[in-house]
Each structure stands twice: as C-alpha cells, then as structure tokens.
Amino acid sequence: MINTLADLLKELSEKENLRLKELDITHPPTIGAMYEGLTANILQKSLFGGLNLVVAKSSFIKGSKTEFDVILAEGEGVPVPYTDKFTFNPEQVLVVIQVKKTFNAKELGDSYENLMRIPDLYLNVPVEDYMLRLATDSVHHTIQRSIEDVTGGKLTFEEEYVYHSLVTEAQLPVTVVLGYNGLKSESSLREKYYEYIAGKASGEGEVIRGYGPNNYPSLVICGDNSIVKMGGCPYNAPLSKSPMGWWDFMASTHHNPMYLFLDVIWSKLSYKYGLPSVIFGDDLESPKMTPFLSCRIVQKGERKGWELWYHEYGKKDLESVQGTLEWEPFFLDDIQFRVMNILCLDGELDFSEVPSVEKDALEAGYESLDALIQSLCDTGLVARKGAGKICLLSRGCQVMMIGDKNIMGENISG
C-alpha cells in the first residue's frame, strides 16, 4: 500500500508543480499559498479516515509566534478571528510542514529556523503512552542496551545524551521541509545544508543554541532528493556501527521522497493510533541511505555541546547508491536457537539457572559462554543484563525453523 500511494503522490506532486510553474503569477504570497495548498492536498490524501485529524494551512502552535505553512493536528484548533487560520495546542499537533517553491541556500536556512524552536513548545506537555513505546523502541534500536543499563547509570557519557535525545524526539511532532524546486542533486543538497549548519557553530566566546539533534527536521525534501533524521521513527542508526561515541543521526537518499513522507508520518500515526501493519506492505525492503551528519556530545570545561562530523561523498558516489535494502533474517545455530526460544517466551534469561547451555555452547565450538552471549547481542535484538544474564530488546522478536534453517527476525512494521 505505501509504495503504491507513494508513486501516485509523486506523480501528483510533479504534475501539479509543473502546472503551477506555468501560471503567469508573480505575486509571492499567492505563489506561496498555491504551494501550501498543494502540500495540504497531498497530506490530506495520505491520511486515514476516522482519526479526527485536521489539516490546517498558515496556522499556529500555542506558545509560538511563528506561522507554520501546514499543520496536521488531532481535533479542531481555535480560529484566528476573520481568517481561515487556527491556533492549536502543542499536544494536538502531530506534523508540521514548511513549504518552499524554490529550495535554495537562503530558503534552507529560513526553513530550519522556522522549525528549530518547536522542541521548546513541548517541555511541559504530558507524555502519552504511545510516546513511551516509541521512545523504548528507538532507544533499543539505537543504543542496544537493557533498560537496567539505561536507568542504572551504566550508559557512557555519549550514550546518555543520545538516550535523552531519543526520548525527547518521541514527544515531538514530525517536522518536514518540502521543497518542490531548487537544488538539483543529492550532492548539492548535502553541501548547502552542511554549509548552513557549519556557519552556526558555537565559538570560544559565543554559544549558539538550537542546533542539537532534536532541532533538526525529521525530513527535508528537495525535488527527488531528501535528508532524513535517523531518530527512531521510523529510521535508526545503531551506535554500535559508529566509532568513539558518534551517532549517524542524519542521512541522505534519492529514494522516492513521497515514500519517505508517508513513512515518517504513518509511523507516527501507527504508534499513536495502532494502525494495522498492512499499510506498510510486507516491509521487507527499506531505502538505501548514505550517512550525512554524525554527532556526539562533548564537554569543554563547564560547557557541553554537540560536535558534528560531515560525511563527504562525491556526486558520482551518491548517484551510485541505487535501489533498496532487502530485509534478511538472522540465521542461528542450534544453541543460539535454543536460547532465543527461551528469550522469546520469558523476555530474559539467567544462564546460572540453565548451566547446560554453557556446556553445550563449548561443545558447539564457542570459546566461552560470553562468546555465545556476544554473538546474540551483535544482532541488536538482545542485550546483557548483568553478569551471566541477557534480555530481549525487541517487542516483536520471532524465531522459527524453515527447512533445516533456524532463523530470527523482528516483526515490527513502520
């Protein structure tokens, strides 16, 4: 379903963009209103009935003076007198979109600055149950540590700040910048975006705020190219794949931008409303992405801040990244399969209660029980829980036999 609708929306946006460009209209506010209307129409076609969702143009979030181009909210807003605009409470707002007919370096900066203060509006907003589920999944996929490690002060300095960023991200609306024209290539989008961010770095005597991971938009689209936040809903970047505390929190792609648009919005709605997983199709493929920005927290004296690392790739290297990544299960040997069956039933395992596992692991060729434990932790679905104990990280882990193969996978869509 998601791929079919993404293709239809891409065709619609391209056709309507061409039609709007051909109109003999030069009045900037009118041009802006036309593209906001097109975006609102695309968003409306992306929604499911019966959820009490409202699409509003040129409206406000209580506590902010910024006018946002398109807002998706739950329930009605308060009308702004004598206009067709509305003001919504922060807890109503699920998606915020800034629209740009022509997305260039100036508009890039303007769109970032329009969205960067949104996290400030959510400091005192009540946390909903779905946000806790989303935060838990994001933390497990990214940090890959047990809840005891997370809450017991066992995270590293870098992991702790990534944890707080992920928990905050789960409470925020999806933020999207949608540019219809402008920067032509994935390479130019990356370069201009980094130039803007690099120009906002804090100096020795100056602290510039608003450029931490939570301030970045969830998704930036310019034509056929996009920059995506790997904040856990739905995309993530495990810390285990990056050295020295770096978190690959932003990536780029030239995959169908309307697929990404639907994926980030539907994933948010899926957590909140429990939408059926069938909307995501078989979910066996994911867009190929190229790391764009990594960050890590650093402390210099009394100051703490986010350090950035820009991944430089040439235009041809980026263009060579084609297609999608096909999902593959983890293949387990017999002893791993036995342990994972216990974990899927009980959620955790104390190896001292089943001493035969260590004996069988050694006979199967493992150097030690710890080597077996590490092999399971390397899947990202299992974490250590103290000495000789492990626990399951995933809410949707399944193990099965197909023919003579033991396999394991995570059955969570979105």
Interval 186-226: pLDDT, tens? 999 999 999 999 998 887 777 888 999 999 999 999 999 99
Average pLDDT, integer, range 240-250: 89
Mean pLDDT of 76-89: 97
| CA 20 to centroid of chain Cα atoms | 31
pTM of the predicted protein model = 0.92
Q: How far is CA 383 from CA 225, 268, 376, 386, 400, in A?
A: 36, 26, 8, 9, 20
On the question of pLDDT at 73 being above 60, the answer is: yes
Indicate the pairing of strand 174-182 with strand 93-103. parallel
Tell me, what's the pLDDT at 276?
A: 87
**Local confidence band at 413 (pLDDT 50, 70, 90 cut-offs):** low
Eight-class DSSP state of 323? S
Which region among 39-43, 59-63, 396-400 has the lowest average model confidence (pLDDT)? Answer: 396-400
CA distances from 398 to 136, 141, 337, 340 (A): 18, 16, 11, 9
What residues contact residue 330 under an 8 Å CB cut-off, 6+ apart? 379, 381, 407, 408, 409
pLDDT at 370 over 50: yes
Segment holding 187, helix H or strand E: helix 186-198
pLDDT, position 243: 78
- pLDDT, tens digit, for every residue of 145-178? 887 888 888 899 999 999 999 999 999 999 999 9
| 330-410 CATH fold | Arc Repressor Mutant, subunit A (1.10.10)
Reported as a single tens digit per residue, the pLDDT across 258-284 is: 999 999 999 999 999 999 888 888 767
Is pLDDT above 50 for 364? yes
Q: Does residue 234 have a cis bond before it (omega within 30 degrees)? A: yes
Arithmetic mean of pLDDT, 54-59: 97
Going by C-beta distance under 8 Å and a sequence separation of 6 or more, which residues neighbour residue 350?
388, 389
CB-CB contact of 27 with 36 (8 Å): no
- pLDDT at residue 5 tops 70: yes
Q: State yes or no: pLDDT of 136 exceeds 50.
A: yes
**Calpha distance 128→142 (Å, rounded):** 21
Q: Is residue 71 pLDDT above 60, yes or no?
A: yes
Cα separation, 44 vs 37, in Å, equals 10
Domain-by-domain residue ranges, the chain? 5-326, 330-410
Q: Higher-confidence residue: 394 or 19?
A: 19
pLDDT range class, residue 414, cuts 50, 70, 90: very low
What integer best gives the mean pLDDT of the chain? 93
